[in-house]
């Protein structure tokens, strides 16, 4: 074949690819500059001598979050009664608390990178869902309890849960936080986990009516597809919380995973005890793969592939329309998902 013919065919291939590629949204007119409020830094300014003057200011500044943090996370007592100052003083004086504060301050002197990533993600949310109210973002120390709690008007960011998988703190917590979970406690996970929490709790919470395995697969698939659209630069492995090896395993055995669902009659199963091992986090999925080589939460992975295939078959469907579709069985049927 002549060089000119080859070049022409390559051009046609590229043209075809560009025609099927989704148009990148124009975010230039969306004025948004996400800032993460540093409650953790404000807490560093507290000491026994200034609690009576500074705590009321912090209570006013942080509103709902302040009460939730003091009463629910630190458990120092109701903020309506200044008697909690004494318990708070004891917490601030603990050696472990001071060590953790120092570590977080060293690891996160600023959050500019995360603010830029979240600005881009939330601009995309406003583009696709213009009426959606956006939350305050507040960073804090959780005491290794929670990553991204959602309150009345905020999403919290527990910075001690994003110190890096090699943090000296996590090995001591292995009984309550296994390594397969703490390996994801990295700065790169802040934006994906904040966006995921916002989707699941505010933008697209799961319906009580979604009880079957296919319902739950498709719901989780929509969440991941939406995350992918809002954070196009994020790696698939980061979005779903896989290692590269786990992601590759799913791709290699995608057809076998689907065949297993069919053999076990799982699609319309409604007993959560029977399907939870395919939906919840774990080091691997028992009963699949050799040894412990399989990836976890395979139902979430498969749901993602179904939704991606559905959008591929129906490129005219907007994100709002996709989320409005309630019939998971119809989405599966219309996706023509049949991995080989």
pLDDT tens, per residue, the chain with 340 residues: 444 444 444 434 444 433 444 678 889 889 999 999 999 999 999 999 999 999 999 999 999 999 999 999 999 999 999 999 999 999 999 999 999 999 999 999 999 999 999 999 999 999 999 999 999 999 999 999 999 999 999 999 999 999 999 999 999 999 999 999 999 999 999 999 999 999 999 999 999 999 999 999 999 999 999 999 999 999 999 999 999 999 999 999 999 999 999 999 999 999 999 999 999 999 999 888 887 889 999 999 999 999 999 999 999 999 999 999 999 999 999 999 999 8
Per the DSSP assignment, residues forming a β-bridge with 38 are 139
pLDDT for the residue numbered 290: 83
Same domain, 46 and 139: yes
Same domain, 182 and 222: no
Task: Identify whether the C-beta of residue 225 lies closer than 8 Å to the C-beta of residue 204.
Answer: no
pLDDT for the residue numbered 161: 97
Same domain, 77 and 145: yes
Inter-residue long-range contacts of 194-200, CB under 8 Å, 24+ positions, other chains counted: 194/118, 194/137, 194/148, 194/155, 194/157, 195/118, 195/121, 195/227, 195/230, 195/231, 196/148, 196/223, 196/227, 197/147, 197/148, 197/150, 197/155, 198/125, 198/135, 198/150, 198/155, 199/223, 199/226, 199/227
- Token digits of residue 280: 């919840």
| Pairing mode, strands 136-140 and 154-158 | parallel
Same domain, 106 and 124: yes
Q: List the domain range (segments joined by +) for residue 297.
A: 213-335
In a domain, 323, yes or no: yes
Select from 174, 203, 232 the last residue of a domain.
Answer: 203
Distance of CA 123 to the CA centre of its chain: 17
Q: What is the per-residue DSSP string for 232-301?
A: TTS-HHHHHT--HHHHHHHHHTHHHHHHHHHHTT-TT---HHHHGGGTS--SS-TTSSSTT-S-S-HHHH
Task: Identify whether the C-beta of residue 228 lies closer than 8 Å to the C-beta of residue 239.
Answer: yes
| Full-model pTM | 0.91
Instruction: Tell me the chain's radius of gyration from C-alpha atoms.
Output: 23
Same domain, 226 and 199: no
In a domain, 196, yes or no: yes
pLDDT for the residue numbered 292: 86
Same domain, 113 and 225: no
Same domain, 283 and 183: no
pLDDT for the residue numbered 24: 82
Q: How many structural domains compose the chain?
A: 2
Same domain, 159 and 51: yes
Same domain, 224 and 270: yes
The count of other CB atoms within 10 Å of the CB of residue 189 is 21
Task: Identify whether the C-beta of residue 275 lies closer than 8 Å to the C-beta of residue 300.
Answer: no
Same domain, 285 and 182: no
pLDDT for the residue numbered 18: 38
């Amino acid at each position: 074949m002549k060089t000119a013919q080859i070049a022409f065919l390559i051009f046609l291939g590229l043209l075809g690819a560009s025609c099927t590629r989704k148009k990148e949204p124009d975010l230039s007119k969306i004025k948004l500059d996400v800032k993460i409020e540093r409650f953790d830094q404000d807490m560093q300014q507290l000491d026994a001598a200034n609690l009576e003057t500074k705590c009321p200011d912090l209570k006013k500044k942080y509103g709902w979050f302040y009460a939730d943090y003091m009463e629910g996370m630190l458990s120092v007592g109701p903020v309506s009664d200044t008697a909690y100052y004494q318990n708070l003083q004891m917490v601030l004086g603990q050696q472990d608390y001071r060590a953790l504060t120092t570590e977080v301050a060293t690891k996160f002197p600023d959050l500019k990178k995360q603010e830029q990533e979240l600005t881009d993600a939330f601009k995309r949310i406003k583009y696709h869902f213009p009426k959606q109210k956006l939350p305050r973002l507040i960073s804090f120390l959780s005491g290794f309890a929670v990553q991204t709690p959602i309150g009345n008007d905020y999403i919290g960011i527990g910075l001690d849960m994003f110190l890096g998988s090699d943090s000296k703190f996590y090995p001591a917590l292995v009984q309550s936080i296994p390594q397969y979970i703490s390996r994801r406690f990295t700065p790169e996970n802040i934006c994906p986990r904040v966006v995921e929490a916002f989707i699941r709790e505010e933008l697209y919470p799961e319906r009580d009516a979604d009880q079957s395995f296919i319902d739950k697969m498709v719901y989780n698939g929509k969440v991941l597809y939406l995350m992918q659209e809002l954070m196009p630069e994020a790696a698939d492995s980061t979005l779903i919380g896989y290692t590269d090896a786990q992601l590759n395993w799913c791709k290699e055995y995608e057809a076998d995973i689907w065949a297993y669902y069919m053999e076990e009659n799982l699609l319309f199963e409604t007993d959560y005890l029977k399907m939870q091992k395919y939906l919840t986090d774990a080091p691997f999925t028992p009963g699949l793969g050799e040894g412990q080589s399989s990836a976890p939460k395979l139902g979430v992975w498969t749901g993602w592939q179904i939704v991606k295939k559905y959008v591929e078959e129906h490129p005219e469907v907007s994100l709002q329309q996709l989320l409005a579709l309630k019939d998971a069985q119809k989405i599966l049927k219309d996706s023509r998902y049949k991995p080989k």
